[in-house]
């Protein structure tokens, strides 16, 4: 089965299976953003560099979703929350645990199979999972 | 020289689920508000709605044969009604017109609401789960302010007890902490009864120069709308103000400061408050954002009963959204109508003594926040 990234430009899948989230660093004010954006949401600058974001972070907020929201391709229940990267950037993410994860728990970035789309392709997104890489 | 602005008339269509069109509900509310104000002529109309489609306000005024004035449809998420009231208040205050009609109408889709706010990849990835964002906000409040699930349930008990006496509310039965905690867990820590129901309804307010309205008509001391500051949300698609950088004041705080400054009052002067209880935690967070207590100190307000009937600041005497449900365009106006009726001494069985200064607060996607102060 072919795999399809849920959206182009969110992350990069390397041949060894490694996943890297892509973000923007503003050249004017150093503000970090995810996903990559053409403009800086802090200062409005259009001068930014696309960077690889850190693959390791800690849990900042977490909950568990029990009802499938509109358009969701995966299964319920699923973990959902905010991860804080060492750079201070916080990212909304799926969490691979089906229960609430404690504040500060080390998390690592993983590629996550969501489900099959209408074209019969496995749709892959990013998620964070307890543990160190 | 600016004009003093009054709430000259109010009208509500009940909140719930009805076999009526959004236009029909709007007609009922507008007719009631105009009648309450003595059927004045008006020179401007502002219609708050999110899901009613193109030119929704025009349909309502058209059905009443009252078109011809400028009609502007206003969308600002949950704060749409506050936004429309701000525009009408500014129009009258500045002398642009003597009388403006504000209406809010909504017929919300059922179930989890699909919003054009989220991009398709966020939907496919499960990141468009609106109640989950509320749950994360609640989790943060529990961590930062020591709020417990019992505290959250207590807010539901408080508001539903008031909803029993509000004839426009969708839910008119009292509940208990145990019953709330036994309702289905939607997203930890939020149980089903801690979340308001999106529904249908309409509200209308006639905003008029005070010298043209009846003498004791309540005054609009301030009507403010603010959006979030850069850096306080995790990107345009995440409705979680204050999560990216906790040191940037929330939109609700900025709007409240502006309203207090214009009105010349502070939190201690308030006799009653209607605030956004989209979920139970959202109400408690508003206590901190509006300055009823310092950041992190809201648990004491809940546990002391400071925000219940008879307390220092009765909050959501209308029953709140937890009792009424939330028709986005109409909900903020219904709050303002509750304040006006209390201040006017016509809140019926819900009437409190010495209601002179009230504050209404709505906040939602954008992030948008509206704060309105109504006085005797
Ligand atoms: Zn910048």
Which of A33, A34, A103 is facing B143, going by the closest CB pair?
A103
Q: How far is B351 from chain A (nearest CA, A)?
A: 39
Chain B contact probe: residue of A21, A33, A72 with most B CBs at under 10 A: A72
* β-sheet with B200-209: strand ranges across: B71-74, B44-48, B99-107, B200-209, B5-16, B219-227, B368-375, B357-364, B272-274
The pTM of this model reads 0.96
CB-based contact A65 B185, cutoff 8 Å: no
User: Is B304 within 8 Å of B297 (Cβ atoms)?
Assistant: no
For ligand 1, the distance from its centroid to the CA atom of residue B95, given in whole angstroms, is: 41
B329-361 per-position pLDDT tens digit: 999 999 999 999 999 999 999 999 999 999 999
Distances (CA, A) of A109 to A10, A114, A130, B155, B234: 13, 15, 9, 37, 18
Q: Which residue of A has its CA nearest to B126?
A: A72
Domains and CATH numbers, chain B: 5-111+195-375 (3.40.47.10)
Residues 6+ apart with CB under 8 A from B334: B12, B15, B81, B104, B168, B201, B203, B318, B324
- Report the 10 Å Cβ neighbour count for A13: 14
% residues pLDDT > 90 (chain A): 86
Structure-token pair, residue B15: 């909140």
Please indicate if any CB of chain B lies within 8 Å of the CB of A101: no
- Find the mean pLDDT for residues A72-88: 96
Q: Which residues of B touch A62 (CB under 8 A)?
A: 136, 139
Distances (CA, A) of B294 to B147, B224, B253, B259, B275: 14, 22, 12, 18, 17
Number of A–B residue contacts, CB under 8 Å? 111
CA distance B276 to B252: 10
Collect residues with CB below 5 Å from ion ligand 1: A 26, 28-29, 31, 40, 42-43, 45
CB-based contact B124 A6, cutoff 8 Å: yes
Among the listed residues A8, A7, A12, A41, the one whose alpha carbon sits nearest the alpha carbon of residue A24 = A41
Q: Judging by DSSP bridges, how do beta strands B71-74 and B219-227 pair with one another? A: unpaired
Q: Which residue of B has its CA nearest to A81?
A: B136
Q: Please check the confidence at residue A37 and state whether its pLDDT lies above 60.
A: yes
**Model pLDDT, residue B238:** 64
Low-confidence residues in chain B, pLDDT < 70: 1, 111-116, 235-239
CB-based contact B129 A69, cutoff 8 Å: yes
């Amino acid at each position: 089965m072919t795999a399809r990234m849920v959206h182009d430009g969110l992350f990069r899948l390397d041949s060894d299976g490694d996943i890297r989230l892509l973000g923007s660093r503003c050249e004017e004010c150093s503000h970090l953003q995810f996903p990559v954006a053409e403009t800086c949401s802090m200062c409005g600058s259009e001068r930014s560099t696309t960077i690889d974001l850190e693959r390791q972070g800690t849990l900042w907020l977490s909950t568990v979703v029990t009802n499938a929201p509109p358009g969701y391709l995966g299964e319920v229940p699923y973990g959902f929350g905010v991860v804080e990267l060492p750079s201070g950037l916080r990212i909304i993410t799926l969490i691979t645990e089906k229960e609430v994860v404690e504040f500060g728990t080390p998390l690592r970035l993983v590629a996550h199979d969501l489900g099959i789309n209408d074209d019969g392709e496995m749709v892959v997104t990013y998620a964070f999972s307890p543990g160190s890489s | 020289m600016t004009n003093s602005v009054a709430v000259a008339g109010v009208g509500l269509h009940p909140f719930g689920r009805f076999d009526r069109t959004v236009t029909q509900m709007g007609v009922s509310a507008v007719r009631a508000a105009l009648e309450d104000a003595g059927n004045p002529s008006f020179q401007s109309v502002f219609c708050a709605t999110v899901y009613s489609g193109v030119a929704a306000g025009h349909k309502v005024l058209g059905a009443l044969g009252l078109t011809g004035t400028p009609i502007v449809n206003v969308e600002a998420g949950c704060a749409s009604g506050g936004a429309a009231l701000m525009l009408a208040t500014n129009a009258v205050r500045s002398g642009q017109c003597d009388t403006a009609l504000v209406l809010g109408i909504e017929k919300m889709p059922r179930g989890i609401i699909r919003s054009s706010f989220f991009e398709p990849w966020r939907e496919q990835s499960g990141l468009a789960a609106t109640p989950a964002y509320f749950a994360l906000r609640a989790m943060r409040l529990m961590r930062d302010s020591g709020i417990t699930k019992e505290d959250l349930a207590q807010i539901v008990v408080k508001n539903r007890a008031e909803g029993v006496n509000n004839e426009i509310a969708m839910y008119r039965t009292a509940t208990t902490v145990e019953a709330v905690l036994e309702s289905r867990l939607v997203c930890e820590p939020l149980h089903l009864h801690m979340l308001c129901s999106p529904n249908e309804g309409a509200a209308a307010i006639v905003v008029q120069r005070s010298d043209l309205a009846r003498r004791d008509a309540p005054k609009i001391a301030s009507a403010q709308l603010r959006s979030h500051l850069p850096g306080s949300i995790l990107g345009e698609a995440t409705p979680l103000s204050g999560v990216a950088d906790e040191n940037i004041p929330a939109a609700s705080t900025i709007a409240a400061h502006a309203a207090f400054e214009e009105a010349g009052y502070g939190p201690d002067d308030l006799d009653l408050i209607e605030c956004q209880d989209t979920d139970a935690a959202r109400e408690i967070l508003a206590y901190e954002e509006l300055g009823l207590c310092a950041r992190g100190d809201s648990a004491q307000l809940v546990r002391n009963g400071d925000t219940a009937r008879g307390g220092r600041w009765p909050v959501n005497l209308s029953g709140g959204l937890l009792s009424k449900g939330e028709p986005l365009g109409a909900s903020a106006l219904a709050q303002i109508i509750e304040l006006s009726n209390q201040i006017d001494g016509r809140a019926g069985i819900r009437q409190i003594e010495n209601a002179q200064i009230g504050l209404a607060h709505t906040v939602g996607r954008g992030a948008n926040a509206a704060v309105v102060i109504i006085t005797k």
